[in-house]
Every structure is written in structure tokens, then in C-alpha cells.
Amino acid sequence: MEIDINKQEFFKLQIKRIKELYEGEISLKKILYSKIEKKEIFVLFDKRWLDTWKSIVGYDLLKEKCRDLTDLNNNEEINEIGNIFLKINTKQKLEVLGNMDVSKLLINYSEKIKFINEKSDFIPILEGQSSNFLQIMKIRVKFSSLISFGKIFIENGFSIKNKGKKILILYKNASIKDYF
């Protein structure tokens, strides 16, 4: 079956996103479980949105197949994965899902100053593994962090109580499985 160019581009973009996120999960696991202290830049993703996206694109089914795909010009492999997207009606479901809105992950302190809402449901994603998602994010929340002994720390410089002193722990569970 011949697939038109627009569908091919849609398939390629979803494959890039799946591949990027899966490689990000693997990289983050390696960093978290190493004994080396490291600084990284993260982008916050809305966990509920990301979980829905994963379901819509068949993430668990396709992540290894997408990671192993080395040539995005191999129409046969693209079409094989694309046929799965067609079967599960991915394009229409993604249109209903819409863009990721991470503004709810922030608290407005003033018109110009915002800080992270600690009660929000978010996932930190390595900046290098978020580039294919940027076009579907209404805003981007990016921060620098310190990773040490399986924990991701950031300084929330706009905390009302302790300006410049409050440390948020974005990840502290013994199992990274909760994040992915």
C-alpha cells in the first residue's frame, strides 16, 4: 500500500518522538543510577498528557522498534510502523489530545515571576530528549538541576518563603519506573 507524503511525515515525526523519549528514559536511568554527581537541564512535561500521548501512539508497543530504526528514509520500515498508527487511529486521537499545556505546572508569583507548583503532576525530561516535543508545547518550562545519588534537585529561586534557598526534589523514589 502506497502512503502519501503528508502521512509519511506524520509517521516520521511520531517515530522521532517515540525514539527520542525512549532514549531519554535510558539516558536518565544511567545518570540516576551512577554514583557521579552531574548537572543536567530538564524540561517539565505534564505527566497526564504524556501518559495519554504514550497510549495514543502505542509507545510501549513501538519504542524498541523506533529506537532500532536507523534510517528514516527507509519507506518500508516507516510504512510498517505507520500502518500501526493508522490501525490505532493515532492522528485523529492526537488532534483531540491537542498541545501539551504545562502552564498549570507553574504558580504565578507576579506578572513576570513564576515558580514550579510542587503539587502538580509533572515529569522531568532531559532537554536533549525533548526537542521533537517543543512544537506541541504551549510554553516550555526548563531548568538546571543537580543529579546526585538517584535524586534530581533544583533550586526554586522564586519561592515566597525562602527566596533562592528552597530546594525541590523532582525525583526521589528508589524506582525510576514511576516516572516512565
pLDDT band at 96 (very low <50, low <70, confident <90, very high): very high
CB distance 55 to 158 below 8 Å: no
Is the confidence at residue 150, as pLDDT, over 60? yes
Residue 115: the pLDDT is: 62
Residue 74: the pLDDT is: 82
**Mean of the per-residue pLDDT values of the chain:** 79
Q: Which contiguous run of DSSP H or E holds residue 170?
A: strand 167-171
pLDDT band at 10 (very low <50, low <70, confident <90, very high): very high
Q: What is the pLDDT of residues 79-92, one digit of tens each?
A: 899 999 999 999 99
Is the confidence at residue 180, as pLDDT, over 80? no
Domain ranges of the chain: 5-178
DSSP result, 96-137: HH--B--GGGEEESSSS-EEE-TTS-EEEEEGGG-GGGGGGB
CB distance 120 to 82 below 8 Å: no
Reference 91, options 2, 4, 1; nearest CA is 4
pLDDT band at 146 (very low <50, low <70, confident <90, very high): confident
What pTM value is reported for the model? Answer: 0.80
Residue 164: the pLDDT is: 47
Q: Would you give the distance in Å from CA 96 to the centre of its chain?
A: 19
Question: What type of residue sits at position 6?
Answer: N
Is the confidence at residue 31, as pLDDT, over 50? yes
Question: What type of residue sits at position 55?
Answer: S
Q: How many CB atoms sit inside 10 A of residue 144's CB?
A: 11
Is the confidence at residue 47, as pLDDT, over 50? yes
Return the DSSP state at 38. Answer: E
Residue 28: the pLDDT is: 86
Residue 35: the pLDDT is: 76
Residue labelled with grid coordinates 536518565: 28
Is the confidence at residue 2, as pLDDT, over 50? no
Residue 118: the pLDDT is: 62
Is the confidence at residue 37, as pLDDT, over 90? no
